[in-house]
Amino acid sequence: MKEETSNNSRRKFLKSVGLTVGAAGVVSGFSLLGAAKAAAQEPGETVNLLTQDGQLVQVDKNQLRPTVTGPLTELQKRGREGIAGKSFVMVIDLSKCRNARKCMDACQNHHQLRPDQHHINVLQMQDAEHTAPYFMPKPCQHCDNPPCTKVCPVDATFKRQDGIVLIDNERCIGCRFCIAACPYSARIFQWTEPKDAEKYKNLTYNIEANVPQKKGTVSKCLFSADRLRENKLPSCVSSCPNGVYYFGDQNEDAVTNGTTHETVRFSKLIEENAGYTLMPELGTKPRVYYLPPKNRAFEFNGDLLNEENLH
Amino acid sequence: MNDLQEQKETTLSFEKIKKDILRPMQNHKGLELWIAFLITVISVCAWAYYVQLRDGLGVTGMRDYVSWGLYIANFVFFVAVSLVGMLISSILGLLRIDWITPISRIAEIIAVAFVAVAGLVIIMDMGRPDRVVNVLIHGRFQSPILWDITVVTTYLTISLLLLILPMIPDLAICKNELKKASPILKKLYNILSFGYINTPSQYKHLHKMIRTLMVLIVPVGLAIHTVTSWLFAATLRNGWDTTIFGPYFVAGAFVAGSAGLIVAMYFFRVSYKLKDYITDVQFDKMGKLMVAVCLVYLYFNLNEFLVPGYKMKTGDDIHLTELFAGHWAIMFWSSQLLGNVIPIMLLVTKKFRKPFPIMIISLFILAGAWIKRYVIVIPTLLHPHLPIQNVPQNFVHYYPSAIEISVTVLSFALALLIITVLSKIFPVVPICEIAEQKGIEVKIEA
Amino acid sequence: MKNAIKIIASLFLLFVFTASVVNAQKWQAPVSSKKKQNPYEASTRNISSGKKIYNINCKSCHGDAAMGNMLPLQPVAPSDLGSQAFLIQTDGEIYYKVNKGNGAMPTFEKTLSDEDKWMVITYLRSFDQNKKESKKIAEVKNPEVTDVKLLLDINNENKRILANLTGVTAKGDRVALQGIELSVKVKRNFGYLDISGDDAYTNEKGEVSVQFPEDLPGDREGHVNLLAKVTDDAYYGEVIVDRIASLGIPTNPVNPLDERAMWGTRANAPIWIIFSYVGGVICIWGVIFLILFQLIQLPKLAKNKE
């Protein structure tokens, strides 16, 4: 008999949790008003809400009001400001890359891109005629002297305080000057209706993930800025099966490997492995560092080695 | 020769000048057919632009690597041709060179038409033309595009003023003479003639304004083409990353503009029967001017290609090899030879500076100038610093699509239509200035 | 007809299956490699250090040893390195395969030192049912204790962290626990930076002394979030302590947006370019408007016959 009761209560508890999850989804666009205001009103139905600090609270429905600022403007505002005190860097260990392309898949999935649209692209490189070929994943370099944001006529692409270069597709006029200006070919353009445009039609635009993608605007890698806000590694970093990517905050002098989750000193990693940046002669000051393809984990199995594929 | 000309000129009277120049405005069947044809072409091609608006820029041949194509080449070409207004009526005008008097208005009309269409072409190239107002709201001072848009609109405004202001006395004549014109046109003449009756103070006042504008357009004209060149020179790409692009573009613009003017001169001379005004002298002088600007342009080309070609830096080597001997060789050499070197060689002889030969040569120069812009824009984009990989085959090459070509035709037809309409409603040769130059008294009734 | 398709399909599946099995089994280390012996003994320390190396270099594909949670890769899934089927190989064979790699398996010939590779093999061998005798030879015997406590004593002067591990015996005495490996870590944005070094085993006083890196940045005030724990939960469950300590170098994050720059937003445009633009526009358009103003005065001048 006693056991039954406890069983019952557990079921009840589960039920209420289920309800909470459902409700949290519905009322996310509402805010809590002051308790004083609510006291004046008749107590009505209550709902369970998850507060921002992760606490479950029971709230009177009368206390719920639509938030004053639309979620879009809020997303735009915080997206343009960036995360204070951070300075994100990426380290790509070329000796570990075997062209598995899991990064490309994860990225295209996250940012709603077609298979031929690359925010990150794994290139087969050969620097000179007799040098060894290697695979080089190439995301946006998030330069500290970005040639792309220099030329934007409308502040649609810009650098934030945490070093990330973003694009505001609610403002971009589609002049494609930034594509011409980028020496790393990191930018793409939505020439036609983006992938699954119909499906995501009603989704609020998130500047930090650049989704939903918009026709007639420019798009590019943004270090998965939406994931960084939740202290998650970028999609490409955490999807790599071979430990190619390290990502972290330069201000903390630490980068974390997306595969092994090992955290190492950024400065040591760069120093001990002779890290470099792409085309330093252009003065773009990239935030993506490369470790040379020495002592490789895999043999190169690419198919290039002729002039045509090189350029 | 000169004696013969002067003899002929003395037979001109003010009445005859008025009659000759106003005739095609009143009665010209061919012109109306031509306008109808242009409007048909424009309406058909406007459909192509509608398709582009509806389906996105994906209907063009442009893709992620060649992200600027035919449209930007056209834009640079239009801006280049429009610079003739500044060259002829301002620089030569300020130098008080008198043979330009009969052709200065044609030059201004070309300037207005081409710079106006250049502005439209930029909008046609935009992915989101509905957001063009963002440039005004959020315009960044650091972006060459803001400067470009500013300079294009300023140049259009000053060119319009430089078209209308010297025309005020002529418009006063139109107001009086063209009794059969439509009421709208009459009203236009009435407003734009600003009550001008050629009093000494009005004359002095007007010419002071014109001279001020002539000075003003020089920096704006230089700026429009320099800023346009910065759209390319401000990037880090091989073939664009060069410091001489500003003056190089200006020199090229003088070539293209002069050629455009010569072609227009020839057609107005024949179609409007203006042999007595746009004489062989103008063609001869324009031919000499053409040799001069072509030589300057050749000099810049030499610098632009010989210096990097001598060093063959990484990146530059592929670009230059493709231009000189690769995929772009035919276009490159035809633009250099047919559009520059051969015209110089031909135009130094007098017989090629006769109206018909020089018009044919100018057509080649114009075609060469357009091809030159095409090979400035596209090959560079096909050779980025990092290899083009993991993209469909059509990303690796660039061929303009039918839609793109139609929209290009639309912009050219639009420019021609503007020129035609302006030359239909305004006298293409300045009546009063010609008369003044010949020492004939100008009489304008109130 | 249907049957025929079924037969073909099953034949095909069988073929694919056998092919993959054959493929998987194909990777044989050469006979010469078999004889190589692991020069390191199966001590707790070696196993523990092998586990660390395993977790960093092998776990992402092979999963936890003996747990069967490897990545489902195609066409050949990584083996469970803790399974008997794998451990049937000699140390030499495993060493060979780790060195050479095959297909999706990287070569560790140059990325891991010999010692590291043998440590991993020592760790894997600890799962071997047939070699039970070599499993976990504890060097020090600690008494059975309850209420295990980990205390941190931080010396800000020389940036040393002293961790002390104690427990209460059945008699009720609090005694030091010896020979237990501790991990001292610093919290970073996406993970924990291990600063414990190679030899973080408690001494007879139950103490481990860790040097905090001289140049490791903290926050604005130099605060860092320290975390110390008993590395292996198997001993006393999860024993963990975290502490905010001001051991780091105070950082003053530079906001790149504070300076005016060509690449900045319009609000951060260099002053001279704003002046050039605004000045240029005002001058040119000023003259244009002046002329327009004069132009509308032209009709008035008609009366002035002078």
Q: Do A216 and B383 touch (CB under 8 A)?
A: no
pLDDT score of C132:
55
A302 part of a folded domain: no
Residue B251, pLDDT above cutoff 90: yes
Q: Do B385 and A184 touch (CB under 8 A)?
A: yes
A136/A219 same-domain check:
yes
pLDDT score of C69:
86
Whether this model's ipTM surpasses 0.95 comes out as no
Residue range C23-134, CATH number: 1.10.760.10
B1 part of a folded domain: no
Distance of alpha carbon B408 from alpha carbon A311, whole angstroms: 30
Question: Which residues on chain B are in Cβ contact (under 8 Å) with C274?
Answer: 141
Question: Which residues on chain B are in Cβ contact (under 8 Å) with C292?
Answer: 161
Using a CB–CB cutoff of 8 Å, tell me whether C273 touches chain A: no
Which of A244-258, B140-154, C190-204 has the least mean pLDDT? C190-204
Does C172 or A168 have the greater pLDDT score? A168
Which tens digits make up the pLDDT trace of B380-431? 999 999 999 999 988 899 999 999 999 999 999 999 999 999 998 999 999 9
User: With bands split at pLDDT 50, 70 and 90, how would you rate the model's confidence at A32?
Assistant: very low
Break chain C into its structural domains and give their ranges: 23-134, 145-245
Which chain C residue is nearest to residue B159, measuring alpha carbons?
A: C288
Dihedral over alpha carbons B150, B119, B136, A169 (to 10 degrees): -130
Does C85 or B402 have the greater pLDDT score? B402
Task: Tell me the longest C-alpha to C-alpha distance in chain C.
Answer: 126
Q: Give the number of domains in chain A.
A: 2
A165 part of a folded domain: yes
Q: Which domain holds residue B96?
A: 10-437
C191's CB contacts (< 8 A; 6+ apart) are: A254, A256, A261, A262, A263
Chain position carrying tokens 């499993």: C135
Distance of alpha carbon B411 from alpha carbon B81, whole angstroms: 14
Using a CB–CB cutoff of 8 Å, tell me whether B381 touches chain A: yes
Does B101 or C73 have the greater pLDDT score? B101
Chain position carrying tokens 């059509």: B394
Question: Which residues on chain C are in Cβ contact (under 8 Å) with A260?
Answer: 55-57, 59-60
Q: Do A261 and C191 touch (CB under 8 A)?
A: yes
Q: Do A150 and B390 touch (CB under 8 A)?
A: no
Q: List the chains bordering chain B where 3 or more Cβ pairs fall under 8 Å.
A: A, C
Does B312 or C24 have the greater pLDDT score? B312
Question: Which residues on chain A are in Cβ contact (under 8 Å) with C55?
Answer: 260
B322 part of a folded domain: yes
pLDDT score of C42:
85
Q: Do B205 and C296 touch (CB under 8 A)?
A: no
pLDDT score of C129:
81
pLDDT score of B266:
95
Q: Do A159 and C264 touch (CB under 8 A)?
A: yes
Average the pLDDT over B225-239 and give the result: 94
Instruction: Tell me how far apart the terminal alpha carbons of chain B are, to the nearest angstrom.
Output: 40
Probe site for chain A from C58, C110, C190 (most A CB atoms < 10 A): C190
Comparing CA positions, the residue from B139, B149, B138 lying closest to residue B115 is B149
pLDDT score of A195:
86
Distance from CA of C55 to the nearest CA of A (A): 7
Distance of alpha carbon A173 from alpha carbon A216, whole angstroms: 8
CATH of the domain at B265: 1.20.1630.10
A25/A132 same-domain check:
no
Q: Which domain holds residue A252?
A: 74-291
Which tens digits make up the pLDDT trace of B328-353? 999 999 999 999 999 999 999 999 99
Which of A92-101, C199-208, C288-297 has the least mean pLDDT? C199-208
What's the pTM value of the predicted model, to 2 decimals? 0.86
Distance from CA of A262 to the nearest CA of B (A): 31
Residue A70, pLDDT above cutoff 90: no
B261 part of a folded domain: yes
Which chain B residue is nearest to residue C301, measuring alpha carbons?
A: B202
pLDDT score of C10:
56
C104's CB contacts (< 8 A; 6+ apart) are: A98, A100, A241, C61, C73, C76, C78
A87/A29 same-domain check:
no
Which of A23-37, B326-340, C27-41, C195-209 has the least mean pLDDT? A23-37
Which tens digits make up the pLDDT trace of B94-110? 998 989 999 999 999 99
Q: Give the number of domains in chain B.
A: 1
Average the pLDDT over B101-123 and give the result: 94
Distance of alpha carbon C228 from alpha carbon C183, whole angstroms: 6
Q: Do A254 and C189 touch (CB under 8 A)?
A: yes
B85's CB contacts (< 8 A; 6+ apart) are: B107, B108, B110, B111, B112, B115, B159, B162, B217, B221, B257
Which contacts qualify for A261-270: CB closer than 8 Å, 24 or more apart?
A261/C191, A262/C56, A262/C191, A263/C188, A263/C190, A263/C191, A263/C192, A263/C193, A263/C194, A264/C193, A265/C193, A265/C213, A265/C216, A266/A89, A266/A91, A269/A91, A270/A91
A15/A96 same-domain check:
no
Dihedral over alpha carbons B283, B288, B290, B293 (to 10 degrees): -150
C186's CB contacts (< 8 A; 6+ apart) are: A254, C192, C193, C195, C212, C216, C224, C225, C226, C227, C248
List the single residue in C266, C294, C299 with the smallest CB-CB distance to B141.
C266
B174's CB contacts (< 8 A; 6+ apart) are: B22, B25, B181, B189, B193, B426, B427
Question: Which residues on chain C are in Cβ contact (under 8 Å) with B145?
Answer: none
Asked if B112 contacts B84 with a C-beta cutoff of 8 angstroms, the reply is: no
List the single residue in A158, A248, A296 with the smallest CB-CB distance to C188.
A248
Residue range C145-245, CATH number: 2.60.40
Chain C, window 226-285: residues with a beta carbon less than 8 angstroms from a chain B beta carbon: 262-266, 269-270, 273-274, 277, 281, 284-285
Which chain B residue is nearest to residue A99, measuring alpha carbons?
A: B390
pLDDT score of C43:
85
Residue A13, pLDDT above cutoff 70: no
Q: What SS3 state is found at B368? A: helix
Distance of alpha carbon B266 from alpha carbon B363, whole angstroms: 11
User: With bands split at pLDDT 50, 70 and 90, how would you rate the model's confidence at A67?
Assistant: very low
A164 part of a folded domain: yes
Distance of alpha carbon B420 from alpha carbon B367, whole angstroms: 21
Using a CB–CB cutoff of 8 Å, tell me whether A256 touches chain C: yes
Q: Do B216 and C299 touch (CB under 8 A)?
A: no
